[in-house]
Amino acid sequence: MSEAKTMQAVVCHEFGPLTDLKIEETAIPSIKDNEVLIDVEAAGVNFPDALIVQGLYQLQPDTPFTPGCEVAGVVVKTGSKVSHLTPGQRVVGVCQIGGYAEQVAINAAQVLPLPDFINVEEAAALITAHATAHHALKQRANLQSGETLVVTGAAGGTGLAAVQIGKAMGARVIAVCSSEEKLALARQHGADEGINYTQEDLKESVKKLTNGNGADVCYECVGGDSFDAMSRAMGWGGRLLVVGFASGKIPKLPVNLTLVKGYAVVGVFWGVFTQKSPQVFAQNMQELMQWYQQEKVKVVIDKQFSLTDAAQALQYMTDRKVMGKVILKP
């Protein structure tokens, strides 16, 4: 039987509206010595994918390109310098682009074998959201047991992951969401307190829930007004994590606030961390998988879409409807 040479992939021809994405027959990627080719069985959908397609992300790939930054599936082929993976092995992989396709070539350092206890759908949904929260709270914030952690966007992909991981690390977690339904989900996943920031003043509510002390750590992935309020609700020695700007507004910080309150503003860029520190990334993933097995972290798949419906999946996310994660099934 001759080997297939083409595959289905979602293609972005130029930066613009999500509805311009096309599903096309494209060439199967060739692999370099340090890469593996993966048969994609599930691809995670993440907010940065929508930003990249619209040309709003910090990284702008050459067009045309295929979006998609995390996949789970089976290794088809390995490059000559790859020794820790073999064809037929179940894996998860992270890539900046290329995941919304039937096959993708990924640097082997960012591909990890998948334990038997997790299926491909949950694995594809677990990586970016949970691993970002894990890296942010562990390496960037050095979150300690007993500290108070505030999580904004707490029912979204990475926010809900931060709620679970914050609890796993022993913190008291305050979830911040825009509806009671979203707060209920965050509570179900371990949040001790909830603030509906469409109804309550965020800064005052955090102060009230911390006896006037402010937050030790904030996992801030919304930006705009939410970041502004949290920059005024941090406690002495706190760490305000800059994770994302889902509101579309990149805030500006009056730095005198950090001086007066003695807190640090700490940037988080998980994708670059996986490339610069592949060994720490691999250790983190081991711990994350252990927590998954122990049910300390759980994957909530809100919806599954087919590859042909990638634009709808991204729209569902930018419409602020996602509760947990969305995945694509090629």
134 vs 138: CA distance, rounded Å: 6
Which token pair is 303?
Answer: 């919806």
Please state the closest distance from residue 199 (CB atom) to ligand NAP, in A.
12
Measured from the CB atom, is 31 or 246 closer to ligand NAP?
246
Query: For 140, which DSSP code?
Result: I
What gap in Å lies between CA 180 and CA 86, rounded to an integer? 47
Told to check if 196 binds ligand NAP by CB under 6 A, we report: no
Nearer to ligand NAP, 6 or 199 (CB): 199
CB 261 to ligand NAP: min, Å? 23
Question: Among candidates 92, 108, 154, 81, which has minimal Cα distance to 288?
Answer: 92
> Residues touching ligand NAP: how many (CB under 6 A)?
32
How far apart, in whole angstroms, are the C-alpha atoms of residue 45 and residue 317? 8
26 touches 11 (CB < 8 A): yes
Q: What are the strands, taking DSSP E only, across the chain?
A: 6-11, 22-27, 35-45, 70-78, 90-94, 103-107, 111-113, 148-152, 172-177, 193-196, 215-220, 234-242, 264-267, 301-306, 325-329
String marking each residue 210-249 x if it binds ligand NAP according to CB under 6 A: -----------xx--------------------xxxxxx-
- Choose, by CB under 6 A, the member of 18, 46, 125, 167 that binds ligand NAP: 46
**Footprint of ligand NAP on residues 246-285 (CB under 6 A)?**
246-248, 268-271
Contact residue for ligand NAP among 157, 166, 214, 251 (CB under 6 A): 157
Which residue, 78 or 107, is less far from ligand NAP as judged by CB?
A: 107
Binding site for ligand NAP (CB under 6 A): 46-48, 51, 128-129, 132, 153, 155-159, 177-178, 182, 221-222, 243-248, 268-271, 317-318, 320, 322
